[in-house]
Amino acid sequence: MKLDKHNLQRLTPTVIRPAYTLSDTRQGIAHIGVGGFHRAHQAYYTDALMNQGEGLDWAICGVGLRGEDRRARDDLQQQDYLFTLFELGDTDDTEVRVIGAIRDMLLAEDDAQALIDKLASPEIRIVSLTITEGGYCIDDSNGEFMAHLPPIQHDLANPHAPKTVFGYLCAALAKRRAAGTPAFTLMSCDNLPHNGAVTRKALLTFAALLDADLRDWIERNVSFPNAMVDRITPMTSTQHRQQLADRHGVDDAWPVVCEPFVQWVLEDKFVNGRPAWEKVGVQFTDDVSPYEDMKIKLLNGSHLALTYLGFLKGYRFVHETMNDPLFVRFMRAYMDLDVTPQLSPVPGIDLTEYKNTLVARFSNQAIADQLERVCSDGSSKFPKFTVPTINRLIADGRETRRAALVVAAWALYLKGVDEHGETYAIADPRAAFFQALVADDALITQRLLAVEEIFGMAIPRSAEFVAAFEWCCNSLREVGVTRTLEQILS
């Protein structure tokens, strides 16, 4: 059954359909960066609220700023912007649900002015973002906005023909200010520490270079709530689409697959209204910091602790690493001995139970999460997910060998060949740069650890960490992943 609004009522009873009428919805959110995670998370929560008969004026207009977004738009458009959320888990309580919260999607390259007009329209009261960790143009070594980047320079010179997210946001906010339209809330849903504060700094810095008065107006009128977001969402494969068709009879050009677990902790700082997401499980708080610190250091940090080692070993799925008892023991040791002592108490969370849940989630066989996905863009992930843990270990005088192994595994992964001799592509915007750094084994330490925007100053200056890193690199080369893990865990 081809998924579209005409076939909704003809779908099998195993598929949950929207309980609301699509034509009754009105757009209130514009989301920049429509991908799997947004659809499995923010769109999922918004749809759940609509299914309760509330929030119908908070439907989502998707926004694509990249050429690659055209296929996503076309796939959604041909099925009336409906898509299937296909939960995959090892238990029987998973759901298959058609979501109707996205009602349109605009592409920047089709009509830049139409996009600016949409963002400036009074109906849009929240603009949300999933633009990846690197999309905020913040230099991780010093926390400063990278205004020198060519796309940023283009937008500063051509404010009425922007290319970047900051150019579009400022163009829309300038139009709202001129028309006397209230500002929107700018809500990051990206997986990075203090995502609201990062968004605020990036936008205000850009705006100051463009128009000082606009910058001051944005500072007074726009809010930037921090959020902790969590749901494992693999890349949708042809096999996933076929699985959905075979099991549930749904022909969906772009379903989203995800685990059953979902969590969203959000600061209640909205300047122009918001959906009542608390009615469908979102936790609102005055300070999201302890939640995001827990999630980023434990979940994301553990992901990196497993992924490069697993890829070097020859595994290609997260659950394969979890089927190897050595990897589970290493993940537990990293979480318990290296990360947990650094965490503050998290309201309402039992850290022991949370770590047990992570082991179960990573072990999910049905979801078949790709190590390739978790490995991607390591140069942006390490400064946020792993380096803060290492810096604290160094400052506290604690052992660093487990954390050093995580970095060493990335260094050898960057060579593009696993321990069985199988070659693979490195999914990182700076792949060529980093591959050059690790080309000569004798120079890896001084070249790789010297990349200040990733490792900062403390790590290359720590004799204990450098020695641990070199030992791990040598061990991985000489005896492989399994024997190295055995020695570290002995």
Give the domain range for residue 24. Answer: 5-285
Q: Of the candidates 250, 285, 320, which is a domain's last residue? A: 285
Say whether both 104 and 64 belong to one domain.
yes
Show pLDDT as tens, one digit a residue, over the chain (490 residues). 999 999 999 999 999 999 999 999 999 999 999 999 999 999 999 999 999 999 999 999 999 999 999 999 999 999 999 999 999 999 888 999 999 999 999 999 999 999 999 999 999 999 999 999 889 999 888 899 999 999 999 999 999 999 999 999 999 999 999 999 999 999 999 998 999 999 999 999 999 999 999 999 999 999 999 999 999 999 999 999 999 999 999 999 999 999 999 999 999 999 999 999 999 999 999 999 999 999 999 999 999 999 999 999 999 999 999 999 999 999 999 999 999 999 999 999 999 999 999 999 999 999 999 999 999 999 999 999 999 999 999 999 999 999 999 999 999 999 999 999 999 999 999 999 999 999 999 999 999 999 999 999 999 999 999 999 999 999 999 999 999 999 999 9
Q: Do 262 and 364 have their domain in common? A: no
C-alpha dist (Å) from residue 362 to 26, 154, 355: 38, 42, 11
Shared-domain flag, residues 261 and 336: no
- The answer to whether residues 360 and 257 belong to one domain is no
As a whole number of Å, the CA-based R_g of the chain is 23
CA–CA gap between residue 140 and residue 342 (Å, rounded): 21
| Same domain assignment for residues 274 and 318 | no
Distance CA 136, CA 200 (A): 10
- Domain end point (choices 285, 307, 340): 285
The pLDDT score that the predictor gives to residue 93 is: 86
pLDDT in tens, 419-470: 999 999 999 999 999 999 999 999 999 999 999 999 999 999 999 999 999 9
Rounded to 10 degrees, the C-alpha dihedral 12/233/373/344 comes to -170
If asked whether residues 354 and 295 sit together in one domain, one would say yes
Check the CA dihedral 401-405-411-412 and report its sign. positive
Task: For residue 475, give the CATH number of its domain.
Answer: 1.10.1040.10
Same-domain check for residues 229 and 316: no
The contacts of residue 68 (CB under 8 Å, 6+ apart) are: none
Residues 10-40: pLDDT tens digits? 999 999 999 999 999 999 999 999 999 999 9
Residue that finishes a domain, picked among 238, 266, 285? 285
pLDDT at 349: 94
Question: Do 127 and 99 reside in the same domain of the chain?
Answer: yes
Residues 77 and 111 in one domain: yes
Q: Which residues contact 380 (CB under 8 A, 6 or more apart)?
A: 132, 133, 134, 140
The structure's pTM equals: 0.93
Q: How far is 97 from 19, CA to CA, in rounded Å?
A: 11
What is the count of structural domains for the chain? 2
> Closest Cα to residue 226, out of 191, 195, 193?
195
Confidence at residue 134, expressed as pLDDT on a 0 to 100 scale: 87
Looking at residue 121, which CATH number applies to its domain?
3.40.50.720
Do 259 and 130 fall into the same domain? yes
284-336 pLDDT per residue, tens: 999 999 999 999 999 999 999 999 999 999 999 999 999 999 999 999 999 99
pLDDT at 92 (0 to 100): 85
Question: Residues 241, 295: one domain?
Answer: no
CA distance 254 to 36: 9
197 and 118 in a common domain: yes
Cα→Cα distances 71→66, 67, 68, 78, 110, Å: 11, 9, 7, 11, 13
